[in-house]
A and B are shown apart, each in its own frame.
Chain A
């Protein structure tokens, strides 16, 4: 187990394993996305209250969930880097930030496009909306801090501390709809389960999309981390060897 853990922590080993996994992960992500899109957009029924705007949820909910999952991964990787000084963990954290920021943008924009016809407003300073906006600023702050510090190791450490402090925001987003009953409706997901209030005709396309977004993130994360591995290891013997043979 520990040998395996150590091997995975080595950039060279990670590069080899991820190279083998990526084609499968990418194909799976694209396949799931295709099925989920068709299901959500064409084959699922309209909602009796929301009408066809319920289709926005097949993008909005997975994007919002992933915006938080990616943040959790980023903070956990940052923690591993701070405590055990595993370089690869720092790269995983750094690779997660832009994807997470894009998921957050998607959640905000799609929520806005749903809010206009359903609530009558593009934006409201509702607790959950505000907390999600703060999440976007946390991602942007993380990336700005990372790029502002010249030395890679101090940059990684400072950014990891920022990410860990920002974890406070995750339960706030999750429980905001229960703590302050303002505008956003109750929770769609509870832990790993989708609330029983969602009808099966909509639950399964939603689950498919959530799975698709998850696999998609895994693929993008691996690819982005590979790029960072190559950049930080460009002078090492194994990268030179690799470049020569390809």
Chain B
């Protein structure tokens, strides 16, 4: 890795005058990546819950 090319936090946030372009890229990318990872994890839990609920219903129906 190299030396940090920014002298201060302000310089880092300013992105050499391109803050309006660089930061949206990273924010959008992070949002898309996080959402695409979290959603299937939740979906699988929901599906397993649904199947379990249906199984319980069926078992009650048989008794």
Q: Which residue numbers of A lie inside 8 Å of B, CB to CB?
A: 26, 29, 33, 37, 39, 41-46, 51-53, 55-56, 59-60, 63, 98-99, 102, 105-106, 109-110, 113-114, 116-117, 201, 216, 219-220, 223-224, 226-227, 230-231, 234, 239-240, 243-244, 246
The docked-state distance in angstroms from the alpha carbon of A113 to that of B47 is: 38
**What residue in chain A is nearest B11 (Cβ atoms)?**
A52
Q: Which of B40-54 contact A (CB under 8 A)?
A: 40-41, 43-44, 47-48, 51-52, 54
The docked-state distance in angstroms from the alpha carbon of A56 to that of B28 is: 11
Interface residues on B, range: 20 to 34
The residues of A that contact B43 with a CB separation of less than 8 Å are 227
The residues of A that contact B55 with a CB separation of less than 8 Å are 240, 243-244
Dominant SS among interface residues on chain A: helix
7 closest residue pairs by CB, A with B: A52-B16, A223-B40, A52-B15, A59-B29, A43-B1, A51-B16, A243-B52
- Counting CB contacts under 8 A, is B61 at the interface? no
Between A and B, 11 residue pairs with Cβ closer than 8 Å are A33-B33, A42-B12, A43-B4, A44-B5, A51-B16, A113-B24, A114-B25, A220-B37, A223-B41, A226-B40, A234-B47
Q: Which residue numbers of B lie inside 8 Å of A, CB to CB?
A: 1-6, 12, 15-18, 21-22, 24-26, 28-30, 32-33, 36-37, 40-41, 43-44, 47-48, 51-52, 54-55
How many residue pairs bridge A and B at CB < 8 Å?
A: 101
Min CB distance A86 to B, Å, is 21
